[in-house]
Chain A
Amino acid sequence: QKEVEQDPGPLSVPEGAIVSLNCTYSNSAFQYFMWYRQYSRKGPELLMYTYSSGNKEDGRFTAQVDKSSKYISLFIRDSQPSDSATYLCAMGLTGAGSYQLTFGKGTKLSVIP
């Protein structure tokens, strides 16, 4: 089993829809969880990060972490064509002398006007 699993899509939704993006992971030691957005020919852009289970909201975006199920989600409300991008989940841990950050492969999202 890979450490981080993310459905690559593509996912196509109409404008205004609620989008749900998901990742599962196998390493229970992961301490922090992120979502990045990547537009074509651009570097990833950090959208959300959290250290705990539960929900974190920022505008139209909500990140959800369930450590007991090893599952994270990103919800986008009232999706816009400008949300069309590839979304990457990432999970990390830092310890004495160690650092690990593992990315999912990304889900390509298209929001159709």
Chain B
Amino acid sequence: DADVTQTPRNRITKTGKRIMLECSQTKGHDRMYWYRQDPGLGLRLIYYSFDVKDINKGEISDGYSVSRQAQAKFSLSLESAIPNQTALYFCATSDPRAGNQPQHFGDGTRLSIL
């Protein structure tokens, strides 16, 4: 089984719909992250959580919210999806004892908003 699992892997939905992307990890890491990846823009941080009670906005948090349900679970929600949120979304984890960078990524959720 993958260390970082994202569901769904692909999703097509309509403008205005509420969407939740889920991430679960078996690494036992306290730190979790949500990124989006767009062609020509690279990876950008949406939200990060350094432990279950800690949630922080990243550089592009507008239009998104997150929930850290447990150490192993970190979900990303789009309350009212819009087409420019079409992107590839990645969840990641890190162990601060090994550095401050995200170390383990899931394989992504490809989200298309029509």
Contact = CB atoms under 8 A, between A and B. Distances in A.
A101 B45 contact: yes
Contacts of B105: 43-45
25 contacts: A32-B99, A32-B100, A41-B108, A42-B107, A42-B108, A43-B4, A43-B92, A43-B105, A43-B107, A43-B108, A44-B43, A44-B105, A45-B105, A46-B102, A46-B103, A49-B99, A90-B101, A92-B100, A92-B101, A94-B100, A100-B59, A101-B101, A101-B102, A103-B43, A105-B40
B23 to A, nearest CB: 11
A51 B108 CA distance: 28
B92 A106 contact: no
Contacts of A106: 42
Among B40, B48, B100, B103, find the residue whose CB has the most chain A CB atoms closer than 10 A.
Answer: B100
A69 to B, nearest CB: 22
Nearest to A89: B42
Nearest to A4: B42
A34 B101 contact: yes
Contact of A104 (B42, B56, B103, B104): B42
B71 to A, nearest CB: 18
A72 B42 CA distance: 17
B12 interface: no
Given A94-B100, A104-B42, 6 more contacts: A31-B100, A34-B101, A41-B108, A43-B90, A43-B106, A46-B101
Nearest 8 A/B pairs, CB to CB: A43-B105, A103-B43, A105-B42, A103-B42, A94-B100, A34-B101, A43-B107, A44-B105
